[in-house]
Every structure is written in C-alpha cells, then in structure tokens.
Amino acid sequence: MHLKRKLTLFFVGLISFMILFYYHDPGGNVLIFCALAWGLAVYSQGGFKVYRKDGGFWLLSLAMWITAGAFTFYGDPGSMGALLLSFYTLGVYMTDKKFHPLLYPLMLAYSFGSFIVRIFFVERWIPKRKTNAQTPFNEAVTDQMGFAMDPGAEYGDSGRPEPAVSWFKTWLLPIIIVLIFLMVYMASSTMFSEVLTKLLPNLDFTVLFALAIIGFILLFNFMYILPIPWLYTINEKVLSWDKGSEMTADVQQKRLHPYRAAHQKGAIITLSLLIGLLSLFLLVYGYELYQGIHAARLSKAIHEQVNSIILSIVMAVAVIMYYIRPATQQQMGYNKGQKSTARSAYNGGEPALLHRLAYVWIMLNILLVISAALHNAAYIGRYGLTLLRIGVYIFLILCIVGLYFTYRKIRDAASAAWLVAIMFKVFLGTIVLNSIINWGAIITRYNLTYMAHPDLQYLRNLDYNTHVLVPSLLNDPRYKSDTKLTEELQNKLDWDVSYTHKDILSVAWYYKYVTWQSNRNKSEWAPAKAQ
C-alpha cells in the first residue's frame, strides 16, 4: 500500500498505545490496543478483502481475541504469554502465509534480535514506493516485502529522496534526538525540570518516553517483521520435504538398492528391540500399579514415569522420522495414494513389517501414557487436585495426540515438516484454551467437594478462586467456628476487592466479578462481611 499511509497507521498505533497506558495498568486497555493493532495491520495490507476467505488468518485472529480477552479478565502472566504468542504468530502469518510454522520462532528471533540495528537503517525498514499496480502482500514479500536493500534505495527515479524517508529524517528523527537530550537534562537538574514543568503541560516525560519505546518495539516487530533471503531458502527446503525424492524408479533401484536393504534391516532390528524393552517396562509398571504404590513413593513414581514418557515419546518420534521418511518410502516402492491392502505387498513384505512394528511401538507408547494417567489419577484421589497434576494430564493428552499424528504420518507417507506443522497448531490451540480456563476455581471446587481433608493452605494461595473458596468455606459446618480461617478469607476477599478501586480499563475484570458476586449473594458472603 502507499508508503505514507502505512507509516501513518504505524504511528497512530504508537500514539494510541501511549495514550492507553499512560498511568493506566493493563486491563481493558490491552483488549483495546489489540483490536486497534489488529485493525491497523489488516488495513495496512490491503483491508479485509485480502483475508476474506483466508481460514488460517481468521483462526489466528480468533486465537488472538481469545487470549486478549483472557488477559483482560485475569491479568496473569500465563494469559499474557499466550497473547504474545498468538499475536506474533498472526504477525508472521500476515507477513507470508507460505512460511512453514517450523520457521516461525526463527523469524521472530531474528526480527526481535535485529530490531535495535534495523531502526537505524531507515532505508532498510521503510518500504519503497511501488511504481506499478498494487501488488498482493503475499507476492510482495518474495521481493523482500518491498524493503529497500540497496544503498540508493532511499532515492526515487528522479534522484530525489523518497517522501517518507525525507519526512522521517527532517522531522521525526530530530524530535526523537531532542526528546532524549531533554530527558537527560531534566534528570540532571532539578531546577531545569521544575522550569520545564511550569512551561510545558503537566506530563511525565519519563513515562511517555518509556511507553514510546515499548510501543515502538511491539508494533514494529508486528507490522515490520523482516523475512530475509536465507529464510526463504530454508523454507523452500522444508516445504520440499513433502515432495520426497524426484529420482525415477530405475535410478532408485540402481543407486539405493544396497542402502535400502541395510536401512530396512536396521529399522526392523531397532524397532523389535525397542518393542521388547518397552513391553518389559510396561509389565513392571503395570504390576506396580496393580500392587499399589506406597504413599511415600507415589509422588516419585509419577515423576519417574512422566520423565520416562518424555524420553520414550521423543525417541519414538525421532526413530520413526529417521527410518520412515517420504523419500525412503518412495524408494521402497511405497506410494502415498495406495490403499493399505496394496501397501502390504510391495518389496517382499519388509516395508509392511516395518510399518507394523512402528504401529506396535506407537500402541505400546499409548499404553505407557494410559499407565501414567492411572498413576496420576491414584495420586489425585489420595492427595487432591493441583496445578501440576492437571499439567500432567494436559501433557499426556498432547502425547496421545502426537502419537496419533505420528501414525498418520506413517500411514499417509507424510513428511516431518507436516508433523511439526500439525503439532505447532495443536500446541498453540492448547495454550489458547488454557488461557481462558480458570484452573484455580476448578481445583478449589474439586478438592472441597471430594476431599475429606483438603489442603486449605494450598487453596488459599491459589489465584482467581475467591468466588468459590470464600462462600464454600464460610458456609461449611466444618470451618464455621475457625475464626483464624475466617479472618484469612476476609483478607483474601479484601485484597481482591481492593483492585476494583481502579477504573474499568486498568483492572483485571475478574476482581470486578468477585465484587459483584459478593454484593449479589450477600447471604453467602455475610460471615466474611461481618468480621
């Protein structure tokens, strides 16, 4: 799009960030800023017509909106991390949707790492004016997104400076330099600071300068993510993994026959030994679960098994990706479109045996995951639910999903790049969903309902469970006479309610919800208010 308009949108977002967060805490301001940044980014790439039928864009936008809403409601570091992840994942996707998710972390690391250098090369991060017709954004990036990479790029065909470069160097850069020196002089002299305070509006320039830097970093690395040539080269190589070998069948037979035989035998021997080892491991753990684990050893057993699952799953996927690759399957006579009955007949049955061994190993790893889930369930039944025990369940579910898609990879002769892309989407979806679930309230409700002697100290230290913990304990006959507990609950309630004195845009909305609940259900919360 036009150079001046994109720069205008960028600085509109920057000024809005400074206004929203000037002496305001995160809360509703984050939701407003995300909406504004999202709209500006879309408009800077040609408007909604470009993304009207782009399902990936709308899914990532939905993820950003969900995490932004979660942070607005809870205001915790976890939802902030989920918001940043979805926010910049959307930024990379908008830069070029052809980029493989495997390269997203690399591109973001390069963009953030080179940020401090790129800002001083104006002609390199400000795009040149396009003289031809408007080019779609995903085609422009193949030409460096229109970034000027040659030394004379800041000058047009007439030899005159590009308008945006001229505007930046004539007005913006001098203002930035003067503001920096102004901050230094105000910090060095109290009288000078007092004089300027009387002459200038009553503003805290230190805070404004800090907000300008933070907002510039956030927006610059969202709207000006820099794809570089070697990243495109790597991306082409990663995408080519799906294509497999381009050699003809005759060339494959002549060149790779000795290698193919050794490869098959090595794979069969490796998987057979691993299946035997994992079977023995499962028998021991199954016997231990059947006999029952002593309470003193239950926690250690859970940690040992989770660690063994991590190693086993990583090794399983790594071994399968090494021995069963699309190119190798094609060299063995395996075609992606064949039906399972036809697959079993090629090359004397050895590849079919290899696949069956891989499927058996995947099933054994699933049994290992189920065994760990049963151990974790026994642990929860004895000691109650905690965040770490929920985390174990989430990890085990991800393991099952990963093993399922590993099976799909073998069955469909897909590449490792396909598997990584699928698991990246699963991981992102897990992070997004976890950001909106109030695990503290779930843990509190479960332990108070199903545990005869819940760990009240642990429950009081959990966040975002006041609306469940306070009315439940205050109306529980077991704890009504405990004045110390009632006082601690009152302090917890007062601490949550104290946040509501801020304006609606500067407070996590959960605390507003707690205050509303306490006023709405006064009969249940009366014991706390009576203290």
Tell me, yes or no, whether 248 and 234 share the same domain.
Answer: no
Residue with tokens 């040659």: 150
Both 271 and 406 in one domain: the answer is yes
Residue 405: its pLDDT value, please? 92
Side-chain-side CA neighbours of 2 within 13 Å: the count stands at: 5
Whether residues 101 and 1 fall in one domain: yes
Helix (H, G, I), strand (E, B) or coil at 127: strand
Q: pLDDT 10s digit of each residue in the chain, 531 long?
A: 455 667 778 888 889 999 898 888 888 899 999 999 999 888 887 778 888 888 899 999 999 999 999 999 998 889 999 999 999 999 889 888 888 888 888 888 888 887 777 776 665 555 454 444 444 444 444 343 434 344 444 444 444 555 556 666 666 677 777 777 777 776 777 777 777 666 666 667 778 888 888 998 888 888 877 667 777 888 887 777 655 444 444 444 445 455 566 767 777 888 888 888 888 878 877 776 666 655 556 666 667 777 777 777 777 777 777 777 665 554 444 555 444 443 444 444 456 787 888 888 889 888 888 888 887 888 888 889 999 889 989 989 998 999 999 888 888 878 788 888 899 999 999 999 999 999 999 999 999 988 888 888 899 889 898 888 888 888 878 777 778 888 888 888 888 887 777 777 888 888 888 888 877 766 556 554 444
Residue 246: CB atoms within 10 A of its CB come to 9
- Over the Cα atoms of the chain, what is R_g? 30
Q: Which of 177, 209, 238 is the last residue of a domain?
A: 238
- Give the end of a domain, one of 238, 257, 286: 238
Question: 122 with 264, same domain?
Answer: no
pLDDT of residue 497: 80
**DSSP classification of residue 162:** P
Q: Are residues 251 and 376 in the same domain?
A: yes
What is the reported pLDDT for 155?
46
**Distance from C-alpha of 218 to C-alpha of 215, rounded to nearest angstrom:** 5
Residue 358 · residue 271 · CB < 8 Å: yes
**Separation CA 267–CA 358 (nearest Å):** 9
Cβ contact 390:373 at 8 Å: no
Domain that residue 193 falls in: 1-129+163-238
Amino acid at 65: W
Would residue 259 count as lying in a domain?
yes
User: How far, in Å, CA of 71 to CA of 83, rounded?
Assistant: 7
| In-domain check, residue 152 | no
> pLDDT value at position 257?
52
Are the CB atoms for 226 and 91 separated by under 8 Å? no
Q: Which residues contact 474 (CB under 8 A, 6 or more apart)?
A: 480, 486, 489, 524, 525, 527, 528
Q: What pLDDT score was predicted for residue 348?
A: 45
What DSSP string describes 288-316? HHHH---HHHHHHHHHHHHHHHHHHHHHH
Residue 141 falls inside a structural domain? no
Regarding whether 500 and 382 lie in a shared domain, the answer is: no
Position 325 scores a pLDDT of 65
Integer angstrom CA distances of residue 453 from 41, 384, 412, 465: 53, 9, 51, 18
178, part of any domain: yes
CB atoms within 10 A of CB 470: 25
**328 falls within a domain:** yes
Residues 403 and 357 in one domain: yes
Quick check: is 461 in a domain?
yes
- Residues whose CB falls within 8 Å of the CB of residue 96, separated by 6 or more in sequence, listed in order: 138, 141, 142, 227
* Domain assignment present for 144: no
Q: Where among 238, 260, 279 does a domain terminate?
A: 238
Same domain, 64 and 199: yes
Q: Is the same domain home to 283 and 385?
A: yes
Are 275 and 326 in the same domain? yes
CA distance 281 to 59: 41
Both 199 and 223 in one domain: the answer is: yes
Distance CA 8, CA 10 (A): 5
CA distances from 258 to 154, 255, 324, 467 (A): 58, 8, 17, 69
Indicate whether 423 belongs to any domain.
Answer: no
Domain count, the chain: 3
Distance CA 290, CA 229 (A): 58
What SS3 class is residue 480? Answer: coil
Amino acid identity at 163 = P
pLDDT at residue 368, as a whole number? 84
Q: How far apart are CA 392 and CA 377, in angstroms?
A: 10
The Cα 169–Cα 126 span in angstroms is: 12
Tell me, yes or no, whether 10 and 33 share the same domain. Answer: yes
